[in-house]
Structure 1
Amino acid sequence: MLEKQKLRLIQEYVMPSTVPAPSDIALLFGTRHGIDDFCSDTLALWNRQFFRRLIVSGGPTGGHACSEAKILSDKLMAAGIPENVIILEDQSTNTGENVVFSKTLIEERFGAQTIQSILAIGKVCSARRYLMTLERHWPGPKKSVHGVNYFGVRLEDWHTCEEFRRRVFLEFEKIPEYLKSGFLRELSWLPGYPPLADVR
């Protein structure tokens, strides 16, 4: 397979082209990279009324005392998102826990039946895996995703940026393993499905 075609198929699978949909809640997956870009994109989605409540999820990872969620939520409130809109989930240390712990908080506070749609917000290089994780652990609601591109290059130029390329290939390698382990559930409606067997 030609390198250019292979790169295109990997991009379509790992970072499917999707349009975020107005949702009952948004789930912002925690990060310690590109925080200003994450906050800017999340604020723009809020201002465009894409969500009514925002779960900011992420624990004290990487040896840091302050949780990812606390850092992000403080910046988001300072930028103008009301405090009563934000729900803090500050214990999770991986994507599965982001979803499971956030779901538990919502069920305890509002009831699971109140959530019919979820907008995932997170790293663009992990866009498909976010949706697959949500489908595995929170299968009922409709789902969409907004991928934050904090790498400083256009999405279609991902392979020209060393760190962007590394992260995309890491996702491409681990998604099949996570599927085998039962951590994810595939979504055939996502763009790019199913190129994995053809690309490897």
Structure 2
Amino acid sequence: MISEQSWADAELIWDFHQMHHEPRPCSVAVGLGSHDLGVADATVDLYRRGMTPLIVFTGATSRTTQERMPRGEAVHYRERALELGVPPADVLVESKATNTGENILFTRTLLEEKGVKVESILLVSKPYEERRAYATARKLWPEVEVVSASAPMTFRHYVDSIGDPRLVIDMLVGALQRLQLYPQQGFMVAHRVPEEVLAAYRRLCADGFTGRLVHAAAP
């Protein structure tokens, strides 16, 4: 049973993780691979709205996705986009990245190899990964404008869509830990975390939502 305090703390962190950017036209949309096909759907929605002429899906597999997406996260995302009517020529795949830093660096390399001029990117992630992805891109691709995007939904709606509240809260807590650790390790730019968000984070850790905490340096 998850307490009302834990729900409230998780919602506070959920809101902090989102950048609240207004989507606008960009050179390319970059969909970050994960267990959540909603990222692919959100990327396609932006494409259909004329926000980008080109999509790159990036991601290999992880322990979370190896059974659900055995061909690789980016490959499954592309298949989803084609099912939704995106022309094959408008969807590129980067299938080797295993973390957010590699997502950015390998996508950058792919677009350079394809001769695509990039001045701005729509960086599409899970809702609670927006700030982490943005901070990573600003560090590793500083010369481009970065606009964060995700599927528009409330925390409760997202939990219902995943079906596992504890997993989602673990993910929120883990993402916030990385926002505090990784700038010191050179993986992302620093973002100030408000004290009330840190207090919520500490309470959730004390309540056992620690399944996605890291104990080693990795982007």
Quickly name the TM-score band, shorter chain normalised. 0.7 to 0.9
1:108 equivalenced with 2:113 (yes/no): yes
Tell me the distance in 1 between the aligned counterparts of 2:29 and 2:41: 15
Q: Which residue matches 1:190?
A: none
**Partner-residue secondary structure (3-state), 1:26:** strand
Greater relative CO, 1 or 2 (CA 8 Å, sep 6+): 1
Structure 1 residues 47 and 77, CA gap change in structure 2 (3 angstroms): same
TM, length-normalised to structure 2: 0.74
Structure 1 residues 22 and 186, CA gap change in structure 2 (3 angstroms): farther
CA deviations over 1:49-93 (Å, ceiling 9, x no partner): 111111110113334541111111011112111111111100111
Tell me the distance in 2 between the aligned counterparts of 1:46 and 1:171: 27
Q: Which runs of 5+ in 1 are unaligned?
A: 188-192
**Partner-residue secondary structure (3-state), 2:136:** helix
Q: Which residue matches 1:41?
A: 42
1:18 equivalenced with 2:17 (yes/no): no
Q: How many residues align?
A: 187
Deviation for aligned residue 1:44? 1.5
Q: Which runs of 5+ in 2 are unaligned?
A: 200-219
Report the structure, 1 or 2, having the larger strand content: 1
**What pairs up with 1:1-200 in 2 under 5 angstroms?**
10-31=13-34, 33-35=35-37, 37-62=38-63, 63=66, 65-110=70-115, 114-148=117-151, 153-154=156-157, 161-186=165-190, 193-195=192-194, 199-200=198-199
Tell me the distance in 2 between the aligned counterparts of 1:128 and 1:30: 16
Deviation for aligned residue 1:7? 5.9
Backbone CA RMSD of aligned residues: 2.9
